[in-house]
Structure 1
């Protein structure tokens, strides 16, 4: 029993200490609440009590919901071209106008109306002074924060124009429900400021090496389709439609049994020699002269070469590799006969 009571006392003290620490700390919601109340009192001797405050983070898609509902829309100018927004509903705007014209808040219901440039000019001193106090109070807790140097910019006519002006990918939103004057007239204020981009973590050389090995393994495991091309024929569509069993098609070959290995988009990868292996049709890759020179001597002597005979000038395979779409020269009758004899074996 005594042990359980002791644990309860410890938990109660822990909660009390945490609450006291949070009360001493200056969060953005607390800073804005104090900044609005202090500014209204200093400028207009107008009591403002914040009944509720909420802080959330939204993306671009959530701006429509935050800016809708009518009221005064103000585009805020920030550092380095950053932009924020402030929305003041008609209840708070009406109390602000009344206290400057009659000296008090009457508490009468605010009629639904369109805001004007005069409304924006009347609210500008309150907005600038509130943002300055908000920034100063946050600076005491965090010297570099996301609410620095934002000031009154210009009044926006509609929500769509405000959405086009706000280009940041994410925003901090602070919503305040307030009561103004001795009659506690309800009102609302919403502050929207861009959220700073996340700072990338320092590069880890070990992690980069693992990533490079993983990427290499994935790349080398990707299937690639190669096509062995003996030659290509261009024919009108009408002739193709008239083809029937038994018709022959002339295939222009630069050399008998030589083919092109092509990847997608007719990209020539290598030259090969058509033949047989264990009774099956097979292709034998022919090394380019540059790759053949890089091989050891004993390997290069056994490796098949793709150097053209001296009677062919220039090298047809070299032209095919550099110009995939180039048409090969017409084969001689003896070449065609040798090719046909090998295919019939």
Structure 2
């Protein structure tokens, strides 16, 4: 499906940029390049894995959104922040806000196990299964080597988010517990697609790194909480709405209809000009092909003139008792063309 280049009303309200821009931006360029390079280097060191990169993607996401779309049978390893002292770790709540995770899909885990037990990748793979502690022990050296390469590739003085060490005994079977273990408000999600065994097997590896929160400067006034209801009401009320004034239905014979030609005049009942209906919104008339819904607007009106131009005067409003305006004394004035504006004499 092709994305609409024009941002939606809600997108404009929250100030979201169009999706045409790179979703990860500059913050993802260095870490994504480092992850791809690290996978290539570790893959070359394990030649029987026959690893190749097929796709790469980076995105900055908020909260649990970064954890969406992970395979239910994935093997997950928690990652400590760089420089963490294992002998004096922070409190659990503070640690969860700076914890990352690396996620290996089942076919990737099976390939790592087969290379160490059989010496090669054994065909397209088996049906996904829940990972075990033995699976984690056999997949840990590869994962640890990739993270070590990323740390070497990224410059020491770079401000890019970077992974630390694998947390001891951090094996997690499946992504379901991750929302409780990773509570960073924003995360950088790096996703790389791989082929293994000479293209016989495809898998993904996903690396999630927490992004630091920008501290408020001394004396800085924090922005107040947005009035979402007021913003939404303001934007919606400013949205354009198309209205159409429609005459009552006219019945003619089929013979008359098929004999119509350019210039023919269809006589209207005298009361037609007082029985117009003003349609708008999702009424099904203003937008061709749309079915009429309860959200549409249909108001009675009458045709007239205002300052020499055609005009429509509203009759009854929704929720008010119906009234009928008296017929005009001269209907011919309504059907005649509007008078030409007077030209002042010099």
TM range (shorter): 0.3 to 0.5
TM-score by length of 2: 0.47
Q: Hey, which of these two has a bigger chunk of helix by percent? A: 1
Structure ranking higher on relative contact order (CA contacts 8 Å, 6+ apart): 2
TM-score, with structure 1 as normaliser:
0.48
